Amino acid sequence: MTNFVVSARKYRPTRFDDVVGQGHVSQTLKNALQSDHLAHAFLFCGPRGVGKTTCARILAKVLNCQNVTADFEPCNVCDNCKSFHENASFNIIELDAASNNSVEHIRTLIEQVRFQPQQGKYKVFIIDEVHMLSQSAFNAFLKTLEEPPPYAIFILATTEKHKIIPTILSRCQIYDFKRIQVPDMVKHLQGICKTEGIKAAPEALHIIAQKADGALRDALSIFDRIVSFSGKELIYEDVIANLNVLDYDYYFRAVDALLTEDLPTIMLLFDDVLRKGFDGDLFINGLAEHLRNLLMCQDPATLPLLELVETLQARYAKQAQQSPPSFLLTALQIANDCDVEFKSARNRRLHVEMALIKMTYIQRAVSLASGIPMQPSETPEKKKADVSAPVSAPTPPVPPASEEKKVPEPERETSEPPKEEPKKSSSFDTPRLTTNLHALKGKVSLPAQADRGDVELELEEVQAAWGQYMDTVQSESIRSVIKTTDLALEDGKLIATVGSSFAENALREEKGMMEHLRKTFEFPSMVWEIRVDESKRKAKAPPPRKKPLTTKEKYAQMKEANPLLAKMRERLDLQPDGE
């Protein structure tokens, strides 16, 4: 069995020009070497897997290389370069601060700084994950980092720059590494495939690069895993099957169904996604990204923002022509709200399905809000046939000539457009909008609301309805106010008399009272007047508390109520208190 070396180590860059996606760092370091303006301490910070430690090793190798090239790259053939590749160099010392983070480890490193390099010009100390050092270790390292010997150079690397104390940051020259872009990753993976003799589809490499999320080391790890599964040929289907990624085709079909308001198709599509083991949040996030890409395709200036292969870009552009911007923006908002609330939802499948239902009828909601009438119900098959044309607001239907003859002449101005024959539909179908109030304004005479201003109400009926509403109130204080209110009718107006301004405010804030009365008596124009009568409060004030009775007074009352009590006292020879 041969010793397999993972791609992340096998194809680790050995020159600045080989570093992927960090040209600004490589060129700056080259210029510093060329002008001999090299700092004594560097801090390389950025996300994981973007080349921080790799650049640190290349810089350390260049500093001790015996035959530096004209563009300040290591020769990789001299004794110092070979010893570094064999991990036998005494001038380049690497320290992992994640496991060597105490004061003792830093003191040991400081002791090594005192010894000059035996071969080469510089002694380079590379400290990885430097943010893991303890506070005491940082303090012990400060003096040496600020004033090291002329032959000592420190290169610190970290993924969490904010955890490093400011005194360390001020002593270092900071280089920020950025996430590696998808095209750069794909180009690097294509070079590896060419070297290894692997045939890879561009779509498959794009999926690997997108899944890596800017970390080239993660992309190479995924690449090795897919190669172990597929062999010498990488295809798109194998990649999405291994990386738990949904096919682009699902999202294209989903948007087609949303544009045609084909709710059964979108529900069945989501069910198919769940049956294949994907989570609902994965589908809704992927759909949101798909909608975002469609929105980017609306303007040629934003096309470079799409990280897709050219074949997919053409398909996105075609579907973007069919999608109105209002639909895309509203669907994106619904998808974002669904994703935010997904973790707190108890029935997560229903939560996603409700979001999909809202997306399905976006265009109908927009049409209602804008006042433009929609077209009557169409079959999904007819809509799918017309999906290639840009989506626009449909016009109201025109009745056929044969039906116009059947309608009596006087009723044509006030009748609604003819309804279509009912069709067999699934339980997902909803009634279609056949008329529009804005279109019918001035043409259809609506029945006027009955005026109850001249109808006399009975006080007993009002009091009964008043009591019914009081039974529905939960607050005891509000119920007390309603119970103590006196009602009267004057000229068709309800007069409510309370005993204080507090009761008046409480009654005015009880909005549901008047709505209940108007609904009960079918009297929309019913009004009331609230009056405050202080004398009412005094008249209904609670009686003063009586003075508590003494024991003698209690006995006198009991004896008056029951004369036999006196005889019992005489027989038992008892004396009441106070006598």
Q: What would the pLDDT profile of 16-68 be if each residue is shown by its tens digit?
A: 888 888 889 999 998 998 888 888 999 999 998 888 999 999 998 898 888 88
Q: Is the pLDDT of residue 428 over 50?
A: no
Q: Are residues 15 and 127 in the same domain?
A: yes
Whichever domain contains 493, its CATH number is 3.30.300
Nearest to 512 by CA among 474, 485, 480, 484: 474
* Mean pLDDT to the nearest integer, 198-217: 87
Nearest to 189 by CA among 178, 204, 174: 204
Q: For residue 393, what pLDDT is reported?
A: 40
Q: Are residues 26 and 132 in the same domain?
A: yes
Q: Is the pLDDT of residue 376 over 80?
A: no
Q: For residue 370, what pLDDT is reported?
A: 61
| 106 compared with 426, residue with greater pLDDT | 106
Q: Are residues 374 and 255 in the same domain?
A: yes
Report the percent of the chain where pLDDT is more than 90: 17
Q: Are residues 229 and 272 in the same domain?
A: no
Whichever domain contains 191, its CATH number is 1.10.8.60
Whichever domain contains 338, its CATH number is 1.20.272.10
Q: Are residues 535 and 559 in the same domain?
A: no
Q: Of the given ranges (79-88, 177-186, 212-221), which has the lowest mean pLDDT?
A: 79-88
Q: Are residues 152 and 87 in the same domain?
A: yes
Nearest to 526 by CA among 554, 489, 562: 489
Q: Are residues 169 and 193 in the same domain?
A: no
Q: For residue 482, what pLDDT is reported?
A: 83
pTM tops 0.85, yes or no:
no
Does residue 45 sit in helix, strand or coil? strand
Cα 529-532-533 angle, rounded to 5 deg: 130
Q: Dihedral through CA 547, CA 549, CA 550, CA 552, nearest 10?
A: 140
Q: For residue 356, what pLDDT is reported?
A: 93
Our count of domains for the chain comes to 5
Contact 172, 141 (CB under 8 A): no
Q: For residue 579, what pLDDT is reported?
A: 52
Q: For residue 522, what pLDDT is reported?
A: 78
SS (H, E, C) 223-275: HHHHHHHHCCEECHHHHHHHCCCCCHHHHHHHHHHHHCCCHHHHHHHHHHHHH
Q: For residue 396, what pLDDT is reported?
A: 43
Q: Which of 327, 350, 385 is the last residue of a domain?
A: 385
Label residues 246-273 b or e (16+ Cβ within 10 Å = b).
bbbebbbbbbbbbbbbbbebbbebbeeb
Q: Are residues 259 and 349 in the same domain?
A: yes
* Mean pLDDT to the nearest integer, 191-208: 88
Q: What would the pLDDT profile of 329-348 be if each residue is shown by its tens digit?
A: 999 999 999 999 998 889 99
Q: For residue 174, what pLDDT is reported?
A: 92
H/E stretch holding 9: helix 7-10
Q: Are residues 169 and 200 in the same domain?
A: no
- The rounded distance, in Å, linking the Cα atoms of 333 and 313 is 23
Q: Is residue 347 part of a domain?
A: yes
Q: For residue 247, what pLDDT is reported?
A: 84
Q: For residue 409, what pLDDT is reported?
A: 44
Q: Is residue 445 part of a domain?
A: no
Total Cβ atoms within 10 A of residue 147 = 9
Q: Which of 121, 144, 176 is the last residue of a domain?
A: 176
Q: Is the pLDDT of residue 566 over 50?
A: yes
Q: Is residue 90 part of a domain?
A: yes
Q: For residue 353, what pLDDT is reported?
A: 93
Contact 236, 201 (CB under 8 A): yes
Q: Of the given ranges (260-274, 291-305, 362-376), which has the lowest mean pLDDT?
A: 362-376
- What the block records as the tokens of 99 is 């496991």
Q: For residue 546, what pLDDT is reported?
A: 65
Q: Of the given ranges (133-142, 318-327, 361-370, 460-469), which has the lowest mean pLDDT?
A: 361-370
Q: Is residue 270 part of a domain?
A: yes
- What the block records as the tokens of 143 is 């003096």
Q: For residue 283, what pLDDT is reported?
A: 92
Q: Is residue 75 part of a domain?
A: yes
Q: Is the pLDDT of residue 575 over 90?
A: no
Non-local CB neighbours of 288 within 8 Å, separated by 6+ positions: 332, 335, 336, 339
Does residue 465 sit in helix, strand or coil? helix
What is the average pLDDT score of the chain?
79
Q: Is the pLDDT of residue 368 over 80?
A: no
Which of 183-192, 235-244, 310-319, 385-394: highest mean pLDDT? 183-192
- The rounded distance, in Å, linking the Cα atoms of 400 and 377 is 16
| 454 compared with 435, residue with greater pLDDT | 454
Whichever domain contains 89, its CATH number is 3.40.50.300
Which of 118-127, 184-193, 438-447, 470-479: highest mean pLDDT? 184-193
Q: Is residue 341 part of a domain?
A: yes
Q: Are residues 270 and 253 in the same domain?
A: yes
Label residues 363-389 b or e (16+ Cβ within 10 Å = b).
beebbbeeebbbebbbebeebeeebee
At position 92, the amino acid (one-letter code) is: I
| 401 compared with 372, residue with greater pLDDT | 372
| 157 compared with 571, residue with greater pLDDT | 157
pLDDT tier for residue 357 given thresholds of 50, 70 and 90 = very high
Q: Are residues 195 and 328 in the same domain?
A: no
Q: Are residues 56 and 187 in the same domain?
A: no
Q: Is residue 399 part of a domain?
A: no
Structural domain including 481 reads 460-539
Q: Which of 159, 176, 193 is the last residue of a domain?
A: 176
Q: Is residue 406 part of a domain?
A: no
* Mean pLDDT to the nearest integer, 149-170: 91
- The rounded distance, in Å, linking the Cα atoms of 47 and 205 is 21
Q: Of the given ranges (107-111, 124-128, 413-417, 574-578), which has the lowest mean pLDDT?
A: 413-417
**175 beta partners:** 44
